[in-house]
Structure 1
């Protein structure tokens, strides 16, 4: 026994004649601390991480006992979690690199060795979020898009290359390789690590956090991992444990079999709908039951990918024989697969389990039907056969047509220049092509996103459907922008080997890049005449994509309704050219003889899908395509990046600038104090997403971010996207709360990042109002409804909130990642009491706000009091709960942020 091994749990495991150390969970069971069989597998993995990392300081014997105390009625204790690795993508990875570089600069200014800022655990950064679909529908689309990608992002990529040489254990997967989560699933994920620690060989579970909310896709192979904000990931990278309350675990029992014609995408949309109804925010979800064995690992990963849409932290599928088969299929070494099985078996982490859960949910696979999700929420499932009724109902609800039009009379409620539901307007494209578009027209049809491109069953189905459609003479209308963005080059290879890539290309689905593209908001521009027609006639056009996100203005700022669907349905709706049809009864088009062609006529046979996969997807493909995964092409090789331990900041740069977080850095902890004389910057409704708070897509010169770039000599066609500018705080703070679809309830019928300045009453941009308030030394708050910050992991949603001078947010409920990011930036996320809201309390945002209860120090989940006084002297007083859930989170707030805390510790040491 020792301080680092208080339970004597470090033991030897011999595999194939080799001896390894491990932190043996069975020792805890032998000592009566837990019953392993009753613990969910995800909790066992957390427990192992705590047990193995005991150091007597950051992680103690008491922490192990807390983790081992899990039971269905979960005790209110916290657990410090050190993942075994970090995964980043470039839109969130660049800010992380910039922050680490800024911390090194601050250390140097303090007279310390800048290399005290050094990753303590390995990290992989996959560049996949920057490629845009500028070119499509041609054989050279991929090459042209990659050229544009490097032209736009060379400065950012040079910063990433600098980090690769400046930091140890920091690997980079260059552009044009694949989507981060698919690369993680197919190559980076190990399930079990064989790692040298202090000169000894250890075996440990592969665990991770990632700076993308869809990191849980890796749960599909039995790896515990979830998405965190870049701030939290940076702290973990620097050795700071991720402190979390011991989670409830919801068990989902899968039974039955998927019906013929239902895809893994249809399944995940059903599960997402179900789990949102159950309510799994902040919880772990673990799948079990006979239906699990019916699912391939690719199907499991498809489900796990959409954990953030479910609302949960992880969607765990424990490792089993199918996991080992998948590791073999994807080219992992035989001796490593043996190591995985032996270790997991020794730890009680392999095969079927029947643990206890906090709550159980039953789900019958046989109830799944072809479905989509839309028009702006990934958990709003619509049966495919209901689309023809859904769309007119949507337009009636939005006031675009009157309620009678939803029943077929085409009635209007607005301008006479606007077409009714069944009319179209003619548009002449730049090449002279005549097209007709109207409400419901599909303008973007994109096979994209890690959710589905990692799954051969749906990708092959899309290829076979395209082949069948082409053979009957069907084609995609000219107004539809088509694209294929595989998640890895393996996908392209097996589609090509199966002779299906040509069939997809025949319909316009050419490879446009290896990245998130449309799903992250990089759909690229629509034809200018089409965009003009949308504006002139206020058209509600649509997109359909095989992605996981369809929030407002995310796919394209001009497209009002966006739908998620399986790859074969993406092609089907692309062929139809409209979303407001019932593909169960309405034809997609006509064949060469003029006869109608229906979806059932071209839907691929399940046996043919299976046979095609069996004949064309092999370990050799994965071995070949991933052999040089970290090398990149000649463009990457040619980038001349800075070198050295400290980054050379360029004051003229419009992409990479030193952020203000660590300038004039005080060594003393600032602490917390009551907030007085604050003003409200915005009053917001429900489900304000991180896309609303910090958009990732393109922006115009009329917005504050565009104005700043123009003032610095950047032409509008060179603006790129908010996502690509995340290394520049000047752009990002101006882009905070600047989504063109965000609605500030202070203003009537106004969309976009605008607000009223008080007490002047002047309407202005959120950024300009913030700067004016800061000049007046006025602290700010923001009020919101339920699900504040739902959606993608966006550290800039919190960083921008901080830089706008917002001291606290007050919402009815929060999404986990955004809440934790706010804490990580030292911003107080406060929650109304049940039943309260800013509307129910009679507030309108014009009041002065005081927040009391901080002077004596902040405690986890503290009850605080807010006093709001209007201009007439009327006072409204209400209680709120600080969503600062652990002592560690309290420390972050007291230090002005987690990175500030880490830097103070490093400088003190």
Structure 2
């Protein structure tokens, strides 16, 4: 939006050679669920997943979109595919004929496919005929269990073999093809005299899908077996679910969503949320339509702006002074230099972005940073690594004899009020998941200056850089356990880093509350342009300075 160049560290490329044909009950969703189990949530970090081979050409365009959507769950930079006839048909069906024709011309010249003999950093072979429906979870998208072994998996864990709710759609598996295949099963269920015994929620993927579903009686077909067709929005996928059937206690839900971190869907940390294709059933394998025979219905276009609206810089943005939903975003101060920083509690495990900035009811404050920051890391997984307690932090104000115990937001606010920058010490794959900017905005708002991790998820690390927080990697991962709460951290080498003389390392002098002092070595991935953001206090600060 500002014409600012954007850079990306050159990723590795993983080739995924796909052959064979999916069985009747398997879907493209099962392919990515299988791959998530193989790669884990970290296996795609810093890598592009390039799918190729004859098996790709048998998939619908929206099926490939589902695979690409869930590439984020393995940390992939992006997912790429060759240009296929299904993509061409989809572009025409969605009134993007000129794009399809341009792609046709490029493909005719040998582009939009992997180069012949291309070499990859890693090659993965997948025979689609061997891919069976998979159910992944709970609480992580890479715990993959083939459907044939799922019953024993439930029994081994001593779980109740009952589903309390099922949900399909949102940004994943919400295409016309997905909905028509589910509708096929709904007709079979109705013919057998069956209806849904638990809440069954369906979310169309767009206004176009919603309108086309209504026109083609798909909505009515689903409702006839007890489904509730929701608005075309994120909905329960990100916690916008006012759940009435089970508000607390252990239970299991089945969803076709892409993400299943603890507490994500209904705010209940005991809800075991399993990911699956939208057609895990026991009827005749369903058929569906990739594209509607009568074309897509346009739906309500009243919210669409003109393609290239004229700028209107004279317009003032007015926000009510007492608004609890919107506030002006004040520029962050530039505060980083060699000096003294206090440390907040260490966090166990990967701390997904959902556990740094939770979704659900908090999302109504996305435009009000002061309010949403009250939600900094209070979730079930924000574990203090020193005592195992959830959402507990210590303020070792060094004028006091005993540390003050408070919530994580509470201690962060105390630091902010006395102008004390602070740091976080975190574990592997910190910020796992997608790109919730507030997971970086909230700690920055409270004055966090630095985060030292065993490893970062790629998108979250970049978001921290944009907000003026310095992300550092332990050179020796065992140093993670040497730094306790209340330690004073003094950076050595940041002045050289900001001055444009980066050597890839920053030393940190650690002084523990008992007086023990030692140094550790950390690594950084800051580029020259990203160092300009750090120097200015944030990327927005730097962009504004250039525009002025």
TM-score, with length taken from structure 2: 0.90
Q: SS in structure 1 opposite 2:231?
A: coil
Which residue among 608, 617, 620 is the counterpart of 2:292? 617
Change (3 A) 1:473 1:741: farther
Change (3 A) 1:861 1:783: farther
Q: SS in structure 1 opposite 2:491?
A: strand
Q: SS in structure 2 opposite 1:876?
A: strand
1:379 paired to 2:100? no
Deviations 1:876-905 (A, max 9, x none): 321111232x11111111111111000111
Change (3 A) 1:746 1:272: same
Query: Offset at 1:489?
Result: 4.3
1:726 paired to 2:389? no
| Counterpart-to-counterpart distance in 2, 1:799 and 1:810 | 17
Change (3 A) 1:351 1:626: farther
The answer to whether the 8 A contact 2:211-2:299 is kept is no
Residue 328 of structure 1: aligned partner: 92
| Counterpart-to-counterpart distance in 1, 2:271 and 2:479 | 28
Query: Offset at 1:314?
Result: 0.8
Query: Offset at 1:837?
Result: 4.4
Deviations 1:471-523 (A, max 9, x none): 2223333xx33211111344445555665433321332121211121112112
Residue 522 of structure 1: aligned partner: 240
1:245-256 → structure 2 map (5 Å cutoff):
245-256=9-20
Structure 2: 5+ residue stretches without partners: 306-311
Residue 339 of structure 1: aligned partner: 102
| Counterpart-to-counterpart distance in 1, 2:524 and 2:385 | 24
- Equivalent residues, number: 534
The answer to whether the 8 A contact 1:464-1:500 is kept is no
- CA radius of gyration, larger in: 1
Q: SS in structure 2 opposite 1:738?
A: coil
Residue 349 of structure 2: aligned partner: 686
1:899 paired to 2:540? yes
1:349 paired to 2:111? yes
Q: SS in structure 2 opposite 1:389?
A: helix
Comparing both structures, which one devotes a greater share of its residues to helix? 1
1:827 paired to 2:472? no
| Counterpart-to-counterpart distance in 1, 2:176 and 2:502 | 42
The answer to whether the 8 A contact 2:479-2:520 is kept is no
| Counterpart-to-counterpart distance in 1, 2:497 and 2:115 | 45
Residue 258 of structure 1: aligned partner: 22
Residue 280 of structure 1: aligned partner: 44
Query: Offset at 1:312?
Result: 0.8
Residue 461 of structure 1: aligned partner: 181
1:743 paired to 2:383? yes
Residue 501 of structure 1: aligned partner: 219
Moved over 4 A (4+): 492-500, 629-632
| Counterpart-to-counterpart distance in 1, 2:44 and 2:207 | 35
Q: SS in structure 1 opposite 2:57?
A: helix
1:476 paired to 2:476? no
Change (3 A) 1:248 1:352: closer
Q: SS in structure 1 opposite 2:173?
A: helix
The answer to whether the 8 A contact 1:819-1:829 is kept is yes
Q: SS in structure 1 opposite 2:360?
A: coil
Which residue among 425, 429, 438 is the counterpart of 1:783? 425
Residue 325 of structure 2: aligned partner: 655
Residue 675 of structure 1: aligned partner: 339
Change (3 A) 1:821 1:860: farther
Query: Offset at 1:631?
Result: 4.5
Which residue among 411, 415, 420 is the counterpart of 1:773? 415
Which residue among 301, 304, 316 is the counterpart of 1:628? 301
Residue 448 of structure 1: aligned partner: 169
| Counterpart-to-counterpart distance in 1, 2:164 and 2:495 | 55
Which residue among 789, 795, 815 is the counterpart of 2:437? 795
| Counterpart-to-counterpart distance in 1, 2:190 and 2:236 | 24
Query: Offset at 1:855?
Result: 2.5
Query: Offset at 1:276?
Result: 3.0
The answer to whether the 8 A contact 1:811-1:830 is kept is yes
1:697 paired to 2:367? no
Deviations 1:340-371 (A, max 9, x none): 3225545x424564233333222221221111
Residue 714 of structure 1: aligned partner: none
Query: Offset at 1:738?
Result: 2.3
Change (3 A) 1:391 1:356: same
| Counterpart-to-counterpart distance in 2, 1:308 and 1:514 | 22
Query: Offset at 1:441?
Result: 4.3
Q: SS in structure 2 opposite 1:243?
A: coil
| Counterpart-to-counterpart distance in 2, 1:241 and 1:681 | 34
| Counterpart-to-counterpart distance in 1, 2:53 and 2:7 | 31
| Counterpart-to-counterpart distance in 2, 1:837 and 1:293 | 48
| Counterpart-to-counterpart distance in 2, 1:804 and 1:738 | 15
Query: Offset at 1:440?
Result: 5.5
Residue 261 of structure 2: aligned partner: 551
Q: SS in structure 1 opposite 2:185?
A: helix
The answer to whether the 8 A contact 2:210-2:232 is kept is no
Deviations 1:811-858 (A, max 9, x none): 11000111001100110101112442422x3x3323222221112334
Query: Offset at 1:603?
Result: 3.6
Change (3 A) 1:371 1:775: same
Which residue among 645, 662, 675 is the counterpart of 2:315? 645
Structure 1: 5+ residue stretches without partners: 1-236, 395-405, 407-420, 422-438, 573-598, 633-641, 699-721
Change (3 A) 1:853 1:366: same
Change (3 A) 1:294 1:629: farther
Query: Offset at 1:454?
Result: 1.9
| Counterpart-to-counterpart distance in 1, 2:454 and 2:236 | 31
Q: SS in structure 2 opposite 1:625?
A: coil
| Counterpart-to-counterpart distance in 2, 1:788 and 1:869 | 24
| Counterpart-to-counterpart distance in 1, 2:302 and 2:83 | 25
TM-score, with length taken from structure 1: 0.56
The answer to whether the 8 A contact 2:81-2:113 is kept is no
The answer to whether the 8 A contact 1:452-1:567 is kept is yes
Q: SS in structure 2 opposite 1:653?
A: coil
| Counterpart-to-counterpart distance in 1, 2:213 and 2:243 | 27
| Counterpart-to-counterpart distance in 1, 2:495 and 2:80 | 42
The answer to whether the 8 A contact 1:377-1:549 is kept is yes
The answer to whether the 8 A contact 1:284-1:314 is kept is yes
| Counterpart-to-counterpart distance in 2, 1:278 and 1:763 | 33
Residue 309 of structure 2: aligned partner: none
Q: SS in structure 1 opposite 2:355?
A: helix
